[in-house]
């Protein structure tokens, strides 16, 4: 009997979803204010998170629950590697380091994989459906804000998914057919809310760097105006 897990997740995470959208870093990003150093730190943490998530999903590819919502075309590890090479160069693996918040996120994924693997559904839902839903919009914002002609936004691209809307509908239908009971469904919803919280912590971790960069850019702009009598326009985006 179906427990309508997709609907439970949508309704049960509405508040968390709204809170995540109102984190300062996200609000700045959506307005086109993006600072490259902060953004590449986010990409770094996401690389570790997706690596852990995808490794654990593969481990459970025959699990009665996980197997139903594991789609390799959603995997983001390789696309994040492309972006890391773009931002850090060919030796990116020696340059990157996970943050404490990112490590806590990874640790949680590893923990539930070992103890309650069905809860991985919550992390898959939270990340992948979000990536599919806003990917193209966020890609265009990032390209415009950071003046990217080519490269740096592979994370938002799903070349093997031709119809993203149809894929999301299929994914939600698969969630509704998962062999889980009401109690398990509630634990998955709780875990999804925790996943949103972990993502918010990732964003909050970057706010200080973003604010500092914006402040420095504004200071530099004002200084140039005072010393050169410049009539430059105000800050539109931080690079």
Q: HEC states along the chain?
A: CCCCHHHHHHHHCHHHHHHHHCCHHHHHHHCCCCCHHHHHHHHHHHHHHHHHHHHHHHHCCCCCCHHHCCCHHHCCHHHHHHHHHHHHCCCHHHHCCCCHHHHHHHHHHHHHHHHCHHHHHHHHHHHHHHHHHHHHHHHHHHHHHCCCCCCCCHHHCCCCCCCHHHHHHHHHHHHHCCCCCHHHHHHHHHHHHHHHHHHHHHHHHHHHHHHHHHHHHHHHHHHHHHHHCCCCCCCCCCC
pLDDT at 234: 36
**Whole-number mean pLDDT of the chain?**
88
| pLDDT tier for residue 208 given thresholds of 50, 70 and 90 | low
| pLDDT tier for residue 2 given thresholds of 50, 70 and 90 | low
pTM, two decimal places: 0.87
Residue 61 clears pLDDT 70, i.e. is over it: yes
pLDDT at 25: 87
Q: Which fold has domain 5-213?
A: Heme Oxygenase; Chain A (1.20.910)
pLDDT at 224: 59
| pLDDT single digits (tens) 70-96 | 999 999 999 999 999 999 999 999 999
All residues at 6 or more sequence positions from 185 whose CB lies less than 8 Å from its CB, including other chains: 3, 5, 8
Span of 13-17, 153-157, 235-239 with lowest mean pLDDT: 235-239
pLDDT at 5: 96
Higher pLDDT, 209 or 68: 68
pLDDT at 206: 87
pLDDT at 31: 87
pLDDT at 188: 98
Residue 209 clears pLDDT 90, i.e. is over it: no
Q: Which of 22-26, 36-40, 51-55 has maximum average pLDDT? A: 51-55
Span of 68-82, 165-179, 208-222 with lowest mean pLDDT: 208-222
| pLDDT single digits (tens) 83-138 | 999 999 999 999 999 999 999 999 999 999 999 999 999 999 999 998 998 888 88
pLDDT at 49: 98
All residues at 6 or more sequence positions from 229 whose CB lies less than 8 Å from its CB, including other chains: none
């Amino acid at each position: 009997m179906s427990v309508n897990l997709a609907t439970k997740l949508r309704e049960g995470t509405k508040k968390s979803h709204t809170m995540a959208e109102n984190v300062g870093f996200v609000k700045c990003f959506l307005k086109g204010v993006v600072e490259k150093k902060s953004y590449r730190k986010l990409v770094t943490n996401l690389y570790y998170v997706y690596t852990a998530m995808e490794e654990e999903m593969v481990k459970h590819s025959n699990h009665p629950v996980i197997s139903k919502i594991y789609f390799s075309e959603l995997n983001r590890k390789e696309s994040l590697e492309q972006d890391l090479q773009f931002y850090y160069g060919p030796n990116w693996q020696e340059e990157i380091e996970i943050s404490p918040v990112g490590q806590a996120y990874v640790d949680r994924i590893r923990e539930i994989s070992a103890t309650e693997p069905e809860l991985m559904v919550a992390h898959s839902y939270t990340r992948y459906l979000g990536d599919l839903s806003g990917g193209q919009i966020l890609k265009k914002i990032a390209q415009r804000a950071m003046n990217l002609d080519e490269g740096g936004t592979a994370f938002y691209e799903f070349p093997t998914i031709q119809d993203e809307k149809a894929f999301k509908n299929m994914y939600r239908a698969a969630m509704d057919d998962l062999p889980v009971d009401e109690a398990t469904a509630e634990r998955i919803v709780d875990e999804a809310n925790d996943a949103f919280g972990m993502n918010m912590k990732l964003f909050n971790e970057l706010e200080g760097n973003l604010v500092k960069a914006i402040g420095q850019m504004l200071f530099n702009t004002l200084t140039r105006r005072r010393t050169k009598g410049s009539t430059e326009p105000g800050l539109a985006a931080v690079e």
